[in-house]
Amino acid sequence: MQRRAFLRSACLNSFAAAGALGALPFPAFASEVAGVRPDAVSVDQLPPLEGDLTLYLGRGEGGLYENVLDAIRKRNPKFNLQVRRGVTAALANTIVAESKAGVRRADVFWAVDSGAIGLVADAGLARPLPADITEELRPGFQYPQWAPVTGRIRTIPYNTERVTRAQIPDSVMALADSDFSIGWAPAYASFQSFVTAMRLLEGEKATADWLRGVNQRAKSYAGELGVVMGVERGEVDIGFANHYYTLRLKAGKPDANVDLAFTKNDAGCLVNASGILALSEGDLPINFIRYLLTREVQSYLAREAYEIPLVNGVQPPQGLPPLSEISPPKLDLTKLADLRPTLNLMRRTGVL
């Protein structure tokens, strides 16, 4: 409840400040885009959406995704969009189970975690995307069967009154042997994806040793907003969290005692992504995906959700360095779907 209340308050305050409560007509936030290169497609360049479409939507971002969907509906009065919401991993498993039963209820799947996308894609259920969609995306985020919508980078939030950025090592693996008190959320899906990336990059033994080492000095929280708030209050020195929790906290509390540090070339600075794929044939699912990759939608999610736009030419959220200045590891994000070995490892090490 704490996380939902915080995000709901942040959204309402942001929209009130912008005079944009309620539906978000595309021209309103299209006119606010600055510094966008011509290769970012505008919603005005897209064909209208007509017909029936069922979207399976993973929960996330305090209602901001629904605001995008409402704006798309308003712009396309002949478009009948039905949305089924749920936990991303559960929806991915439902899609696979429905397929095995000879049933297809979802036309499009929008997941807040790329591991869930990988689960569906590995089952052979995703339609190939046309080249014009993949070419819009930044290098390193171009996949033949799914489109990353926005990115989120793993970070080290730290308390600015207890720690300096220079004290934080460039390697996330080194933190297991540090003297920092650490906040984490082991039951949280983003953290488990982070550990999965570590397992794939560093190996199972090194990851097990890291988990045991951190567990000796870690304080657990229910979610990563709680981690960041705990860091800011001085309950712990540092934490592990996606970048946007810190940026959202600082947007509502500019003098917050928290800032971000980044490791280099390891799971500690993994750029994960929400993503979307088409499950049914026809132009409508593909054209719907195109709407989510427009500069208007991407700019809106960067500005309001502090997520990272992954299409060419859209500015990152304020307070975050551009991806070109960060050194994330090279990793096929769909490999994060292999979560069961991670959960087994976390249980064996006493973390879960």
Task: Reply yes or no on whether the pLDDT at 325 is more than 90.
Answer: no
Q: Burial letters for 273-303: b for 16+ Cβ neighbours within 10 Å, e otherwise? A: bbbbbbbbeeebbbbbbbbbbbbbbbbbbbb
Task: Reply yes or no on whether the pLDDT at 67 is more than 80.
Answer: yes
Nearest to 235 by CA among 279, 187, 271, 182: 182
Looking at the structure, tell me whether residues 124 and 176 fall in a common domain: no
Nearest to 277 by CA among 266, 288, 267, 269: 288
Looking at the structure, tell me whether residues 51 and 74 fall in a common domain: yes
Q: Grade residue 10 by pLDDT with cuts at 50, 70 and 90.
A: very low
Looking at the structure, tell me whether residues 158 and 98 fall in a common domain: no
Quote the DSSP letter at residue 265: S
Are 129 and 146 spatial neighbours (Cβ–Cβ below 8 Å)? yes
Q: Is 143 assigned to a binding site?
A: no
Looking at the structure, tell me whether residues 220 and 307 fall in a common domain: no
Query: What is the per-residue pLDDT for 258?
Result: 98
Q: Is 221 assigned to a binding site?
A: no
Query: What is the per-residue pLDDT for 29?
Result: 46
pLDDT tens digits, 111-120: 988 888 989 9
Task: Give the residue, 321 or 5, on which the prediction is more confident.
Answer: 321
What average pLDDT does range 216-226 have in this prediction?
95
Q: Give the DSSP H or E segment for 54.
A: strand 51-58
Looking at the structure, tell me whether residues 111 and 212 fall in a common domain: no
Q: Grade residue 35 by pLDDT with cuts at 50, 70 and 90.
A: very low
Most confident of 21-25, 45-49, 320-324: 45-49
Looking at the structure, tell me whether residues 156 and 285 fall in a common domain: no
Q: Length of the chain in residues, anyone? A: 352
Quick one: tokens of 40?
Answer: 């970012």
Looking at the structure, tell me whether residues 124 and 177 fall in a common domain: no
pLDDT tens digits, 249-274: 999 999 999 999 999 999 999 999 99
- Which percentage of the chain shows pLDDT scores above 90? 73
Looking at the structure, tell me whether residues 179 and 281 fall in a common domain: no
Give the residue numbers spanning the domain of 184.
152-270+329-348
**Euclidean distance between CA atoms 123 and 95, whole angstroms:** 10
Query: What is the per-residue pLDDT for 13?
Result: 40
Looking at the structure, tell me whether residues 126 and 143 fall in a common domain: yes
What average pLDDT does range 235-260 have in this prediction?
96
Task: Reply yes or no on whether the pLDDT at 313 is more than 90.
Answer: no
Task: Reply yes or no on whether the pLDDT at 4 is more than 90.
Answer: no
Looking at the structure, tell me whether residues 15 and 125 fall in a common domain: yes
Nearest to 303 by CA among 34, 54, 85: 34
Query: What is the per-residue pLDDT for 60?
Result: 60
What average pLDDT does range 165-188 have in this prediction?
96
Looking at the structure, tell me whether residues 156 and 210 fall in a common domain: yes
Query: What is the per-residue pLDDT for 12?
Result: 37
What average pLDDT does range 212-241 have in this prediction?
96
Looking at the structure, tell me whether residues 20 and 119 fall in a common domain: yes
CB-based burial of residue 178 (10 Å sphere; 0-12 exposed, 13-18 middle, 19+ buried)?
middle
Q: Grade residue 2 by pLDDT with cuts at 50, 70 and 90.
A: very low
Query: What is the per-residue pLDDT for 88?
Result: 87
Q: 64: domain CATH number?
A: 3.40.190.10
Q: Count up the domains in the chain and report the number.
A: 2
Task: Reply yes or no on whether the pLDDT at 6 is more than 60.
Answer: no
Task: Reply yes or no on whether the pLDDT at 239 is more than 90.
Answer: yes
